[in-house]
Structure 1
Amino acid sequence: MNRFSVLHRFFLSPSSGAPLAFFRIAIALLGLVQAGWLAGSIALLYGENGLVPWAISDGIVDPYLPQLSWLKPVSEFTGLSADTWVYIIMGIYLLSLIMLLLGKFTRVAAFTAWALHMMFINTGFMAAYGVETFMHIALFYCILMPVGHVFSWDARWRTTVRDSEWYTLSIRVLQLHLCLVYVASGVEKAMGTQWWNGEAIWQTMMQGQFSRFDMRWMAGFPLLAKMLGWSTLVLETCYPLFIWWKRTRPYGYLAIVMLHLGIAVFMGLQLFSSVMIIFNTAAFGWPYVQHIYRTRVQPLYEKKKLHRAGRLATQAFWNFE
């Protein structure tokens, strides 16, 4: 009975839905930013005769999975070109992300974005980029989790529950998922020698597709590459240890955010880093974000507000005179 009560408190003790609202808003914004980056290359990446033609992707992807080649019969029936329908599908995808961002018909919008996103990752180049996997997972979570109960359009028409056990359960799922992801990634890296001898760091810095700076000087400091590899292994394999212990959690959260910021800066994988930071912030970092806002940002805003009010009062006094 005691063990059951401990599990009940862990998974179902009421908590705030603000982290889930942040998760919804941030994921929707990230999807819109990504679509903006790809806007000029839609036909090239996902068109019928793009870089990966549908004739090729049809032979790679399971025919029962949604893909853009399913638009061929629609194109023949309507008389519109297949590429035109790709643009239409992309437009619907963007609209669903906007609705998800606003929290209007949240679950329907999340399901629409998730289904259309699946069509894109099963066609063209999106599946080759790791951010798409986590974006797809995030959109799926937005379907199942109560991400639209706080800070949303839908919340205006329902009685908002301040704290709920369903919010806690959803956050626990995100937390356990991240622990599995990082441990699996760390163990896989540790099974080889490249992350131990620094070769993985060196090769990454030297590859043209990832290299953003001239890092050839690292050849004179082999220990630095080794230490970067070792620190990555420690952060990932020991992620559940330092992220669950309250005393080390803020430092662990900061370390994992710095890791992904480093990936964004030195490898140019900004979208991947962003989605991982969003996951970590919603799962573990939200209390620290709130604390920084309340202690640093909010007082500064209140100070500026009082200063403006004083200035307006002074102007009104002199105008009256």
Structure 2
Amino acid sequence: MKKPIRARIFNFFFKPSSPYPLAFLRISVALLLITQLLWLYKSLPLLYGHQALIPWPVSQAIMGNYTPNIEWVAGYADYLHISPDDVLWIFIGVYLFVLVVFLLGIFTRVMAVLVWALHYMLVNTGFMSAYGVESFAHIILFYCIFMPVGNAWSFDARKGNKQADNEWNTLSVRVLQLHLCIIYFFSGIEKAVGIQWWNGEAIWRTLMQDQFKQFDMSWMAYYPWVAKIICWSTLLLEIGYPFYMWGTASRKYGLIAIILLHLGIAVFLGLQLFAVIMIIFSVAAFGKLKPRKALGHSGAAAQKITESSIIF
């Protein structure tokens, strides 16, 4: 006998599930942002410094006086007798420290708020260099404030014994899933409106731009059908995302296809960090992190999680 619709909807959003997808999200985004800092280490003054490509007074004027940025902190530099450049490096040091603590899952929710706020200030300061990776990182960090991302693979979980299935894990993952479905579906629809994604011009123009060009792809001019197939495949993957990701049989192959799509973006467009954060987002939402359990007898506790692995 089928369950009533109301019960099925309730189970869909609140049936207890594993905390591991959210823990994976926390760890992955923290590692990505730490990697981004180390990657850009030599360019940080050029991107975010007092006399950067876009100096602080200019960025403040563009973004508005009520938009938090590093210049807000620099206002206290005179009291501390330090230079604006020193303010930048102190800010980066604090940001890096908070990211590491967040990664380890110590005072996870508090650290999530701090990481989100510091990341927001950093992006506002160097907004001219920001692109998709900053936007999606900011979205994920915002979710981390409210979602139980510290309930597994964290010091908080060890101290509070939170490594258990619960309804808040399920609700959080459903929010991630619905958000991704909206993003991909409407991104595909927007692309499909223009002729460039049907005649292959969109991918041709992108691959030939100096800012994205990683290889000599001029040979595609002699094989226009290659560009068309790439464009059509992208449309199919993005518009079809909500449909094949909700199908139990098709989800595994759809997730693999999305991962391959973003790996292609990383290799051929040089947008490695953007590709990685989109893979993280999809794997956390639709890849299932299933704990393996080992039996161990210690009083009343008979089972303990010993290791985990990603399965689809």
Q: TM-score, normalised to structure 2's length?
A: 0.90
Higher deviation after alignment, 155-164 or 271-280: 155-164
Alignment of 1:106-255 (within 5 A): 106-125=108-127, 128-255=130-257
Deviation at 1:140, TM superposition (A): 1.1
For the pair 1:100 / 2:102, whether they are aligned, the reply is: yes
Of Structure 1 and Structure 2, the greater helix share is in 1
Q: Tell me if structure 2 keeps the 8 A contact 1:113–1:139.
A: yes
- For 1:34, the equivalent position in structure 2 comes to 36
- For 2:50, the equivalent position in structure 1 comes to 48
1:12 aligned residue (11, 14, 31) = 14
Q: Tell me if structure 1 keeps the 8 A contact 2:36–2:273.
A: yes
1:287–1:71 Cα change, 3 Å:
closer
- For 2:73, the equivalent position in structure 1 comes to 71
Q: Aligned partners of 1:103 and 1:276: how far apart in 2?
A: 22
Q: Aligned partners of 1:182 and 1:33: how far apart in 2?
A: 26
- Where does the alignment leave 5 or more consecutive residues of structure 1 unmatched? 297-321
Q: Aligned partners of 1:107 and 1:84: how far apart in 2?
A: 29
Deviation at 1:126, TM superposition (A): 6.3
**AA in 1 matched with 2:108:** T
Q: Aligned partners of 1:140 and 1:86: how far apart in 2?
A: 23
Deviation at 1:204, TM superposition (A): 0.9
Deviation at 1:225, TM superposition (A): 0.3
Instruction: Tell which structure's C-alpha radius of gyration is larger.
Output: 1
Deviation at 1:294, TM superposition (A): 6.1
Higher deviation after alignment, 169-178 or 53-62: 53-62
Q: Aligned partners of 1:295 and 1:263: how far apart in 2?
A: 23
Deviation at 1:33, TM superposition (A): 0.3
Q: Aligned partners of 2:141 and 2:108: how far apart in 1?
A: 11
Q: Percent identity?
A: 53
Q: In structure 1, the residue corresponding to 2:52 is in which secondary structure?
A: coil
- For 2:302, the equivalent position in structure 1 comes to none
1:184–1:277 Cα change, 3 Å:
same
Q: Aligned partners of 2:310 and 2:36: how far apart in 1?
A: 32
Q: Deviations over 1:81-131 (max 9, x none)?
A: 111111111111111110111001111111111101101111124653210
Q: Deviations over 1:59-97 (max 9, x none)?
A: 211322211121232112222111111111111111111
Q: Tell me if structure 2 keeps the 8 A contact 1:198–1:229.
A: yes
Q: TM-score, normalised to structure 1's length?
A: 0.88
Q: Tell me if structure 1 keeps the 8 A contact 2:290–2:309.
A: no
Q: Tell me if structure 1 keeps the 8 A contact 2:30–2:100.
A: yes
Task: Give the root-mean-square deviation of aligned CA atoms.
Answer: 1.9
Q: Deviations over 1:197-222 (max 9, x none)?
A: 10111011111111111111111100
- For 1:81, the equivalent position in structure 2 comes to 83
Q: Tell me if structure 1 keeps the 8 A contact 2:287–2:310.
A: no
Q: Tell me if structure 2 keeps the 8 A contact 1:242–1:252.
A: yes
Q: Aligned partners of 2:309 and 2:118: how far apart in 1?
A: 38
Q: In structure 2, the residue corresponding to 1:238 is in which secondary structure?
A: helix
Deviation at 1:4, TM superposition (A): 1.7
Q: Tell me if structure 2 keeps the 8 A contact 1:253–1:280.
A: yes
**AA in 2 matched with 1:114:** W
Q: Tell me if structure 1 keeps the 8 A contact 2:265–2:275.
A: yes
Deviation at 1:7, TM superposition (A): 1.1
**AA in 1 matched with 2:23:** A
Q: Tell me if structure 1 keeps the 8 A contact 2:47–2:129.
A: no
Higher deviation after alignment, 9-18 or 119-128: 119-128
Deviation at 1:168, TM superposition (A): 0.3
2:282 aligned residue (280, 283, 286) = 280
1:128–1:23 Cα change, 3 Å:
same
Q: Aligned partners of 1:61 and 1:155: how far apart in 2?
A: 39
- For 1:313, the equivalent position in structure 2 comes to none
Q: Tell me if structure 1 keeps the 8 A contact 2:200–2:229.
A: yes
- For 2:297, the equivalent position in structure 1 comes to none
Q: Aligned partners of 1:149 and 1:295: how far apart in 2?
A: 17
Q: Tell me if structure 1 keeps the 8 A contact 2:18–2:290.
A: no
Q: Tell me if structure 2 keeps the 8 A contact 1:67–1:120.
A: yes
